[in-house]
Amino acid sequence: MSENRAEALRARLEAIKVVPVIRTPSADLAIRACEWLLDAGMQALELTFTTPDAHRVIETFARTAPDALIGAGTVRTPAQAIAAAGAGARFLVSPGAAPGVAEAAAAAGLPYLPGAATPSEVEARWAAGAAIVKIFPARECGGPGFLKAIKSVYPEIPLMPTGGVSPETAKAYLDAGALCLGMGGELVSVPALKANDPGPVREAVARAFAAVNS
């Protein structure tokens, strides 16, 4: 991966601020979530590989929403990384440092966002070439206070807290030094998706935008 691509991704995500993390029990629900989120104004999507046929969903929106930043999440194997790259993903995210994924991302020329839960892991991920380090699970790691402590000793490392981040805690994470935020279930309600009711998702997106732009 070229440093130019990493810099471009960091700049785009810093401007976007919120990355919806889509984790659904079916591809059809994931497609519905993506459509609702894009219609509500979201400019980035992370499709997790825990969703069945995630690579097909990535391919669909990489093609139909070329201006959006489509990434792959919960990438835990090189095969998933290769599938995501082939589908058109523009970045890869892992909950930890998955064996072989960093190398597969580099071979595909894609920025890699591995997860970390301790200061040593944050330092190691950055030293290994991460474009951004994902703090996961952010709430259980200590929330905004933990992030602020990490930034105080590693001010140069861009961080994306994910896991328990909500519209209500978004501003606190940004104030603590987050580059951007990963939001999953707090933003994308699976019950609302199953009920085909976009209202809760639109309301959560509006709260998230209000928080990060305040």
Cβ(93)–Cβ(75) below 8 Å: yes
Catalytic residue among 17, 59, 134, 186: 134
Instruction: Measure the CA–CA gap between 175 and 172, rounded to whole angstroms.
Output: 5
Burial class (CB in 10 A: 0-12, 13-18, 19+), 2: exposed
C-alpha radius of gyration, the chain, whole number: 16
Length of the chain: 214
Instruction: Measure the CA–CA gap between 38 and 44, rounded to whole angstroms.
Output: 8
How many alpha carbons lie under 13 Å from residue 166 in its C-beta half-sphere?
8
Is 46 noted as a catalytic residue in this protein? Answer: yes
Which H or E run contains 46? strand 44-48
Q: Could you identify the residue written with the tokens 């580059």?
A: 179
Instruction: Measure the CA–CA gap between 42 and 24, rounded to whole angstroms.
Output: 18
Catalytic residue among 7, 17, 35, 46: 46
Instruction: Measure the CA–CA gap between 144 and 129, rounded to whole angstroms.
Output: 24
| Catalytically active residues, by annotation | 46, 134
